């Protein structure tokens, strides 16, 4: 599990190179893993005057649009330098979006160079304890 997470974080870091973010210069990469082990990658994409699409939602939309509905974890990194891969957690919009498609124990990982294992780990219900539900 530890090595798998590290590989996801490294791939997320590589995904930062595809970010289209000329307005904020903040580059985010994400790697979503399904319960069957399939990976879907994402990077953030911004447009002038329009809400940016975050890396996490890009990865989810790619997976959802191919019929995936069972998700295990997502790895996210972000930084002002492409490929630097600093700690970055999903924004509020992404937390709500993801919560509709995952279980409470879905894991979110981001890098942490201070931690011995090299990453931080959160459960979905820690990141969004009172998500909107109909
Ligand atoms: Zn977001």
Q: Is residue 47 over pLDDT 80?
A: yes
**Cα 114 to averaged position of ligand 1 atoms, centre (Å):** 24
In this predicted model, what pLDDT tens digit does every residue of 69-108 receive, in sequence order?
Answer: 999 999 999 999 999 999 999 999 999 999 999 999 999 9
Give the other-Cβ count within 10 Å of 25's Cβ. Answer: 11
> What is the residue whose two structure tokens read 């780990």?
121
Output DSSP code: residue 70: -
Q: Which of 10, 56, 70, 115 is catalytic?
A: 56
In three state form, how does the secondary structure of 3-60 look?
Answer: HHHHHHHHHHHHHHHHCECCCCCCEEEEEEEECCCCEEEEECEEECCEEEECHHHHHH
**Cα 104 to averaged position of ligand 1 atoms, centre (Å):** 18
Interval 19-30 mean pLDDT: 93
**Cα 91 to averaged position of ligand 1 atoms, centre (Å):** 4
Cα 86 to Cα 98: distance, rounded to the nearest angstrom: 21
66 is known as an active-site residue: no
Residue spans of the domains in the chain: they are 2-127
Q: Which CATH code of 3.40.228.10, 3.40.140.10, 3.30.70.580, 1.20.210.10 fits the domain covering 2-127?
A: 3.40.140.10
């Amino acid at each position: 599990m530890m090595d798998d997470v590290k590989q996801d974080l490294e791939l997320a870091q590589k995904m930062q190179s595809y970010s289209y973010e000329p307005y904020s210069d903040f580059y985010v990469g994400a790697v979503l893993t399904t319960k069957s082990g399939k990976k879907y990658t994402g990077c953030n994409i911004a447009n002038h005057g329009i809400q940016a699409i975050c890396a996490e939602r890009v990865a989810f939309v790619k997976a959802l649009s191919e019929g995936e509905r069972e998700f295990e974890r997502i790895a996210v990194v972000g930084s002002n330098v492409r490929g630097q891969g600093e700690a970055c957690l999903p924004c509020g919009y992404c937390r709500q979006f993801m919560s509709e498609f995952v279980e409470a124990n879905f894991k979110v990982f981001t890098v942490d160079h201070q931690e011995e294992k090299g990453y931080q780990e959160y459960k979905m219900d820690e990141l969004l304890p009172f998500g909107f539900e109909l």
